[in-house]
Chains A and B, each alone.
Chain A
Amino acid sequence: MRECLSIHIGQAGIQIGDACWELYCLEHGIQPDGVVLDSHQNQLENAKTEHTNASFDTFFREIRAGKHVPRALFVDLEPTVIDGIRTGERRSLFHPEQLLSRKEDAASNYARGRYSVGSEVIDLVLERTRKLAKQCGELQGFLIFRSFGGGTGSGFTSLLMERLTGEYSKKTKLEFSVYPAPRVSTAVVEPYNSVLTIHSTTEHADCTFMVDNEAVYDICHHRLGVERPSYASINRLMVQAVSSITAPLRFEGPLNVDLIEFQTNLVPYPRIHFPITTFAPIVSADKAYHERFSVSDITTACFESSNQLVKCDPRLGKYMACCLLYRGDVVPREANAAIAAMKARQSVQFVDWCPTGFKVGFNNRPPTVMPGGDLAKAHQALCMLSNTTAIVEAWARLDHKFDLMYAKRAFLHWYIREGMEEAEFLEAREDLAALERDYEEAGQSF
């Protein structure tokens, strides 16, 4: 069994995690208390006997007949968000030991998350992780959910990633990170936290899938008819992408792609591991079935920036690799035709050194929509992960904001007083400048 452990850190990570497990339960027919419905039980039996490879054993652990527990860990330095889960709909789904919280939070401060407050809780977290890992037959890797801008999400994650590399060096670590949106900010010191965490986590993460709130907010507002999207709407959309990425591990498919395969095909150089996520079709539930989306329609849509979950213009860069994950009723013949059509387009430019830029995966299960959600059910869907040099725009933006604040040493004392030194800031900033240069170099012709 190739199990995956999900670790959700900080408010963003936990709230996305909540939506994520809600969706997984819906997809697998597991009720909010972890018990499987009878009709699905038979399906499970069939699935297990017929295909030992693909089952949801990768994400859930069966502790007794019919009762399943997610292989997940929720960590936060303050209790309110986790208390929401402890008292919410899925409180009986998780074992209490999987929900870890402390009393004093990181207060949007990387230094607190990493050094002072984080260091008190890291040992407990690692112990729980070990316990969960022991319950796995053959752990494949970790999925880390966090934000770049928050204190716990940035600081504590850096600490955790370092220690995980130490203990589980051979295991893959994939991140789902919420990147600070260009125009919508949740914390003033976001740039500091983001730069510091990217610097310390880059060498430990194998691949980081980025989403940003503003892009998803725009999609919800303009395409899904949500007047004022709340975090709940935004998270529900994000987890559809997460589900598509992990679907190959949970369901059968004619051409499944697992975690290692992703990396091999998406990451050309170790540091260039920040693909952007795109999803299609995005249709409001009120307009379900009004338009017929063929496979070529959804493939074309994925190359449009309005379907991206990160604000970034891919036409300003070149694609280095693309991973297309088709879900549902998609026939390989149609997919190949659609991809051939995209390759012929002018607007889709690949770097010179990557002639066959596409990796395709097929999964039979169409995406499940949450009841009462904003997204319409689609019988064919596509999630595209593309590694494009255009993401350097995101780094440049972040660095610029960092520079503006750092030039005046604004807000710096909050970090210094928790034991950090200015040297670390400079080091981090240098690292990000080097990352920008790496991307530019990758995009250059021979």
Chain B
Amino acid sequence: MSDTLTLDVIGRRVEVNGEHATVRFAGVVPPVAGPWLGVEWDNPERGKHDGSHEGTVYFKCRHPTGGSFIRPKKVNFGIDFLTAVKNRYVLEDELEEDGKEQIVTIGNKPVETIGFDSIMKQQSENKLKFPSGSAPLTGTFSALKVLVLNRTGITWAEVLRCAAECPGLEELYLESNEIFISERPTDVLQTIKLLDLSSNQLIDENQLFLIAHLPRLEQLILSDIGISSIHFPDAGIGCKTSMFPSLRYLVVNDNQISQWSFFNELDKLPSLRALSCLRNPLTKDDKDTQTTRQLIIAKIGQLKTLNKCEILPEERWGAELDYRRAFGNEWKKAGGHQDLDKNRLSEEFLMAHPRYQFLCLKYGAPEDGELKRQPLMLKNQLLTLKIKYPHQLDQKVLEKQLPGSMTIQKVKGLLSRLLKVPVSDLLLSYESPEKPGREIELENDLKSLQFYSVENGDCLLVRW
């Protein structure tokens, strides 16, 4: 690059030894002679100062160490698209200067380099120069479907201007541009299906509302933007939002999600079918990845693929049942009731578990028996049973603790020793205090008490 600096250099994107920056100042910096360029680096820690030198402010940076002064010679301004194309594809000895027109063949598609009437599929990034004024690009890229503008330092306003020239745009990649979404795209970007906003740390959830009404947006990539929460205020608990109507696949890897409420909100998206949420604080815990996956599946009902693994119906069934059981006690404490008409759940519970009601409708309300979770010690597995003798009224009612896995034969053996009655004479049955009057015979000697669903507190009836 020559030593002559003109003012149009300000705002241009440059590269020095692999690091990208934007020119903010061009001129002389006393006391050192010669022309200098003041640049603001993409990486805020790369620089030495914030644009001021020995008391004089030459340009402003966002960060105290974001700026440097560099000699123009050391800086790579990049080349425009046409030159890049020529350098790459046209071999030296085949160059034909044919008046004004030159046809360069990229693959099998001839690209005419005059007037930008080209059918391009991809522009190479970081060599893209943007007019800093409001001059529109010459010609429209009517066939352009994919536009890659990663790391170009482009602003949202410039994106929209660009998009105005590409009416058929379907995929737009804007990674690492420090984009701040400032306005809602009204006539532009309406055909867009995929939007990649990864690594734009300035984006927060409120800005997302500005792009929430793009009608065809199917894939949204929000990796590494520092987002931790999301909220759709237009939809209440259990309802679907009108935002992001076509969004099918959302990527939120490498963010700061640490609350389950995030996933509760995602359930409000009407078309969401696939989600990737790796490497977030909530999902990072290695030993619990299985539980985390199950919880996410249970919280977002229409999800079919999570972290690129298909959710099979059995997996969903298992996850939802586990979820229902895991929070059953909380549900009861919050006012849940077996008879769903009598349900009066607290606001807090509904906020934390918006799908719980639906799960109760689908699988039935959780029963008390399911919810009791006692530690697996032998004494907890013993059934405390009363033993009554209906034919011998004078005998005392005994209470015994027996394991559920004990077979009827062994029970009879125990009773026979107790009562001094031969085993073959004994007839056993039981009744449960929950269902009085109903007696169930324990006829098969080889089966266990558990097989007959004998539970704690039941009463064994012995006859001979």
Q: Which A residues fall within an 8 A CB radius of B?
A: 224-230, 232-233, 286-290, 292, 329, 331, 333, 364, 374, 379
Given A286-B223, A290-B150, A329-B107 in contact, is the A225-B307 Cβ separation under 8 Å? Answer: yes
Q: A289 contacts B107, CB within 8 Å? A: no
Q: A225 contacts B148, CB within 8 Å? A: no
Question: Out of A230, A288, A331, A333, which one reaches B309, CB within 8 Å?
Answer: A230
Chain B residues with CB under 8 A of A287: 198, 223
A228–B198 alpha-carbon span in the complex (Å): 24
Chain A residues with CB under 8 A of B175: 289-290
Count of A-B contacts with CB under 8 A? 55
Question: Out of B91, B107, B126, B307, which one reaches A227, CB within 8 Å?
Answer: B307
A-B contact pairs, 12 of them (CB 8 A): A225-B308, A227-B289, A228-B309, A230-B309, A287-B223, A288-B173, A288-B196, A289-B173, A289-B175, A290-B176, A292-B124, A329-B107
Chain B residues with CB under 8 A of A289: 125, 148, 150, 173, 175, 196
Q: Which B residues fall within an 8 A CB radius of A?
A: 88-89, 91, 106-108, 122, 124-126, 148, 150, 173, 175-176, 196, 198-199, 221, 223, 251, 253, 276, 278, 289, 293, 306-310
Q: B310 contacts A227, CB within 8 Å? A: no
A379–B148 alpha-carbon span in the complex (Å): 13
A292–B125 alpha-carbon span in the complex (Å): 9
Chain B residues with CB under 8 A of A288: 173, 196
CB proximity of A23 to chain B, nearest CB, Å: 18
Extra inter-chain contacts (4) besides given A227-B306, A230-B309, A232-B310, CB under 8 Å: A224-B308, A225-B307, A228-B309, A290-B150
Q: B173 contacts A225, CB within 8 Å? A: no
Q: B307 contacts A364, CB within 8 Å? A: no
Given A225-B307, A227-B309, A374-B308 in contact, is the A286-B107 Cβ separation under 8 Å? Answer: no
CB proximity of B13 to chain A, nearest CB, Å: 15
CB proximity of A47 to chain B, nearest CB, Å: 10
Q: Which 9 A-B pairs have the closest CB atoms?
A: A227-B307, A226-B308, A286-B251, A289-B148, A289-B173, A228-B309, A227-B309, A290-B175, A364-B107
Residue of A nearest to B125 (CB): A292
Q: A286 contacts B253, CB within 8 Å? A: yes
Residue of B nearest to A292 (CB): B125
Chain B residues with CB under 8 A of A230: 309-310
Q: A331 contacts B88, CB within 8 Å? A: yes
A225–B306 alpha-carbon span in the complex (Å): 11
A225–B280 alpha-carbon span in the complex (Å): 13
Given A286-B223, A286-B253, A289-B148 in contact, is the A233-B122 Cβ separation under 8 Å? Answer: no
Chain A residues with CB under 8 A of B91: 333
CB proximity of A54 to chain B, nearest CB, Å: 13
CB proximity of B150 to chain A, nearest CB, Å: 6
B interface, over-half SS: loop
Which one of B108, B150, B251, B308 has the greatest number of beta carbons of chain A within 10 Å? B308
CB proximity of B106 to chain A, nearest CB, Å: 7
Chain A residues with CB under 8 A of B198: 286-287, 290
A interface, over-half SS: loop
A233–B150 alpha-carbon span in the complex (Å): 28
Residue of A nearest to B307 (CB): A227
CB proximity of B428 to chain A, nearest CB, Å: 47
A225–B89 alpha-carbon span in the complex (Å): 35
Residue of A nearest to B88 (CB): A331
A232–B310 alpha-carbon span in the complex (Å): 10
Q: A331 contacts B310, CB within 8 Å? A: no
Q: B173 contacts A226, CB within 8 Å? A: no
Given A225-B253, A286-B251, A286-B276 in contact, is the A379-B196 Cβ separation under 8 Å? Answer: no
A289–B91 alpha-carbon span in the complex (Å): 27
CB proximity of A308 to chain B, nearest CB, Å: 21
A286–B197 alpha-carbon span in the complex (Å): 11
Q: A331 contacts B89, CB within 8 Å? A: yes
Which one of A233, A286, A364 has the greatest number of beta carbons of chain B within 10 Å? A286
Question: Out of B89, B108, B309, which one reaches A226, CB within 8 Å?
Answer: B309
A226–B251 alpha-carbon span in the complex (Å): 12
Chain A residues with CB under 8 A of B106: 329
Residue of A nearest to B147 (CB): A289
A232–B309 alpha-carbon span in the complex (Å): 10
A97–B423 alpha-carbon span in the complex (Å): 68
Chain B residues with CB under 8 A of A379: 122
Given A290-B198, A364-B107 in contact, is the A227-B173 Cβ separation under 8 Å? Answer: no
Which one of A225, A331, A333 has the greatest number of beta carbons of chain B within 10 Å? A225
A405–B107 alpha-carbon span in the complex (Å): 55
Q: B107 contacts A226, CB within 8 Å? A: no
CB proximity of B246 to chain A, nearest CB, Å: 16
CB proximity of B107 to chain A, nearest CB, Å: 6
Which one of A228, A233, A331, A364 has the greatest number of beta carbons of chain B within 10 Å? A228
A75–B276 alpha-carbon span in the complex (Å): 37
Chain A residues with CB under 8 A of B251: 286
Question: Out of B108, B196, B276, which one reaches A225, CB within 8 Å?
Answer: B276
Which one of A224, A289, A329, A379 has the greatest number of beta carbons of chain B within 10 Å? A289
CB proximity of B22 to chain A, nearest CB, Å: 19
A331–B89 alpha-carbon span in the complex (Å): 7
A243–B310 alpha-carbon span in the complex (Å): 25
Chain A residues with CB under 8 A of B89: 331
CB proximity of B153 to chain A, nearest CB, Å: 16
A289–B106 alpha-carbon span in the complex (Å): 19
Chain A residues with CB under 8 A of B148: 289
Q: A225 contacts B278, CB within 8 Å? A: yes
A384–B106 alpha-carbon span in the complex (Å): 24
A224–B278 alpha-carbon span in the complex (Å): 11
Q: A233 contacts B308, CB within 8 Å? A: yes
